[in-house]
Structure formats: structure tokens, C-alpha cells
Amino acid sequence: MRGSAPSSHLRSLVTDEYAESAEYIDILISPFWDDFGPVLADAIKAIDPAGPVIDIGAGSGCGTLAIGDALPMAEIFAVEPSAGLRSALLAKVNAHESLRDRVTVLPEGFLEAELPDRLGLVVAMNVIGHFSSAERRDIWKLLAERLAPGGRAVLNLQPPSEAVDIPEALASTGSIGRRRYECRARAEPTGDGTLTWHMTYRTYQGDDVVDQREVSYSWHLVAEPQLRDELAQAGLRLHPLEPTDLGMYAITRT
Ligand SMILES: C[S@@+](CC[C@H](N)C(=O)[O-])C[C@H]1O[C@@H](n2cnc3c(N)ncnc32)[C@H](O)[C@@H]1O
């Protein structure tokens, strides 16, 4: 294992942008996994990972579960710096006997986590915009150095890839018992290749709003040609996955 492991009391150096919204995330992101899950499973099922799997920014564990099902023998490191989301992740891993013995949950940011020297698969779903271009360069370098022969990474690019205004719209909704949870999202360009997303999370009982949270965070834009370029500079290749409207890609060593 290599990496600049922080002492345990330091934990994550990453700002927790999900501290306010954590209880909403699993409910509101899981519907997207109905589409992402089968594509991810298809992209990884044939690989025989000659090293553990890393789930970068595992969130509440929807992807971790999909990886665990597709690769029933693989050891998985689920890296999740947000304490609230890590609670949901740990609960999901603990609830699945097939995961409990082989998923290790790491509380640092990906670039601060102590990771194995050889990696079979790296998954970065719905997370790459949290990394600046300099941080992405570090990620590609790490992949180029540590991906095992035959290994790969899988990630997605979330639209938009350009600095444009996104008017507010319903992003996701889901119900638990008598309550309905929703997220509305809008975004505005904030220069230097970033958008600022403004999310409003609400809980309804009937027509009454019983909880409301406002969260804003910065998202680094990257389009496919730029990503292809960055990867090529690190000696890596980008392969779009079908259906292409999901914006999912596999990355291999050249
Ligand atoms: C939109 S959520 C996606 C969660 C999960 N991958 C999914 O698709 O269900 C983004 C996740 O990235 C995590 N994250 C943000 N910065 C990170 C970093 N530097 N290293 C690792 N994870 C990070 C957040 O805490 C959050 O859980």
C-alpha cells in the first residue's frame, strides 16, 4: 500500500459538500443507478481484476453494490470522505453479507487515501467534477502507474460540459412511507471552467414542506475531447460505453 496516509484524527482534507444533503442522497441518486448499474456491470463483468477495485466517492454505495454484484470475488475499497454519506455506505455494506467481508470503507479523499500499489478496476461515477484539472492529472498519473495489465477505470461525465446557465428543474424525487423527497437543481457558470450548482432539497408530507435545505457547490467542467487529451498525455485511452447518452466511459492503459 502506498499513499500519504493522514493520521487518523485528520481524516479527510476534502470539504464535505454533502453534510447538509446526506440524508437525501441515497433516495435521490438510486433511480439513476437503474441506468448506470447495467452499463457498469457490462463494462466490468469480463475483467479478471488482478488487483482490488476502488470506488472513488462511493457516496451511499449504489455503485459499490453494483460492482460487488458484477464481481463477486473482488476486494473493494470504497473511498468516501463525507461522514453523512459514509454512514449510509457503511449501513449498505453491513446489510449485504456478500459485501461485508470484502469492502473496506476509507474516509479520506481519493488523492489522500492510502491505496494498494496494483489496482484491477477504478470506478468514478458522478464524481469527476469534484476534481480540478490539476487533481485530475494526479488521478490519471495514478491510474497509469497502478492499473494492472487488463485493468480499467470506468467513469461518467455529467452534462453540461460547457459553462452555461442551467435553469432550475426537478432533478430527482422519491418517496419513503408518507413522505416525498425531492431535489431541484440550477447552475450558473462561475469562470475558470467551473459551474456552481445550487440544489434545493425538500421533504413533503402531503402538500406541506416539512424540511428544506439549500446546498451550493462548485463543479469542474470537462468535455470528452479534453478528457481524451488529458488521458493520452498520461498514456491512457478513453472508450465510450453504450448507450452513449449516459456519458459513461472506460479507460485503459495504451
Ligand atoms: C454525487 S456523489 C456520487 C456518489 C456515488 N458515486 C454514486 O454515484 O452514487 C459524489 C461523491 O463524491 C464524493 N467526493 C467528493 N470529493 C471527493 C474526493 N476528493 N475524493 C473522493 N470522493 C469525493 C462526495 O463525498 C460524494 O459522495
> What backbone phi and psi angles, to 5 degrees, belong to 18?
-110, 10
What is the three-class DSSP state of 44? helix
Q: Which atom of ligand 1 is nearest to the CA of 131?
A: 19
Instruction: Return the pLDDT at 11.
Output: 53
The cell numbers describing 100, all together, are 461485508
Mean pLDDT of 137-158: 97
- Grid look-up 464524481 returns 127
19-39 pLDDT, tens digit per residue, is: 999 999 999 999 999 999 999
> How far is residue 132's CA from residue 109's CA, in Å, rounded to a whole number?
13
Mutate to test the pocket of ligand 1, among 130, 215, 220, 248 (most ligand atoms within 8 A of CB): 130
Whether the pLDDT of residue 9 is over 50: the answer is no
Mean pLDDT of 145-160: 96
Mean pLDDT of 125-137: 98
175-187 pLDDT, tens digit per residue, is: 999 999 999 999 9
> What is the identity of the amino acid at 13?
L
Is the distance from CB of 130 to CB of 122 less than 8 angstroms? no
Structural domains of the chain, with CATH:
22-159+222-253 (3.40.50.150), 166-220 (2.20.130)
How many whole angstroms from 55 Cα to the centroid of ligand 1?
A: 9
Q: Which atom of ligand 1 is nearest to the CA of 61?
A: 9
For the chain, give the mean pLDDT: 94
- Grid look-up 408518507 returns 178
Q: Which atom of ligand 1 is nearest to the CA of 110?
A: 20
> What is the identity of the amino acid at 205?
Q
Q: Which atom of ligand 1 is nearest to the CA of 109?
A: 20
Whether the pLDDT of residue 231 is over 90: the answer is yes
The residues that bridge with 194 in the sheet, in sequence order, are: 220
> How far is residue 174's CA from residue 176's CA, in Å, rounded to a whole number?
7
Q: Which residues form the pocket of ligand 1, taking CB atoms under 6 Å from any ligand atom? A: 14, 18, 29, 56-59, 62-63, 79-82, 85, 109-110, 125-127, 130
